[in-house]
């Protein structure tokens, strides 16, 4: 709800992912079953784009997850 209302989240809830897009962020979610990440992009008109979400299994975000996020983001941007 905070993101929808235009607020930005800081660490540890979210961190910038400039390797994906200048306005991309990684939402960090953790529960007793594991760690999850949701890539979202702000300031694309009045939209919040969510190109990818995945289960986090390593300390660093894997390159394949970043590449997939970039690919899906480009597809979403081309639709608009």
Mean pLDDT for 56-63 is: 89
Residue 66 domain flag: yes
Residue 7 domain flag: no
Contact (CB, 8 A) for 26 and 9: no
pLDDT digits 0-9 by tens, 1-44:
888 777 778 888 999 999 999 999 999 999 999 999 999 998 77
> Which band of pLDDT confidence, cut at 50, 70 and 90, is reported for residue 68?
very high
pTM (predicted TM-score): 0.86
Sheet harboring 14-16: ordered strands across?
14-16, 24-31, 34-44, 47-56
User: Phi then psi for 77, rounded to 5 degrees?
Assistant: -65, -35
**pLDDT at residue 80, as a whole number:** 62
Nearest of 55, 57, 58, 53 to residue 17 by alpha carbon: 53
Nearest of 54, 41, 53, 52 to residue 80 by alpha carbon: 41
Q: Give the helix/strand (H/E) hosting 30.
A: strand 24-31
Residue 3 domain flag: no
Which domain, by its residues, includes 58?
A: 14-79
């Amino acid at each position: 709800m905070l993101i929808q209302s235009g607020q930005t989240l800081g660490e540890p809830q979210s961190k910038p992912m400039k390797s994906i897009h200048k306005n991309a962020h990684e939402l960090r979610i953790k529960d007793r079953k594991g760690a999850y990440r949701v890539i979202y992009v702000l300031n694309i008109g009045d939209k919040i784009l969510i190109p990818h979400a995945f289960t986090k299994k390593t300390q660093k975000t894997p390159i394949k997850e970043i590449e997939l996020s970039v690919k899906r983001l480009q597809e979403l941007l081309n639709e608009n």
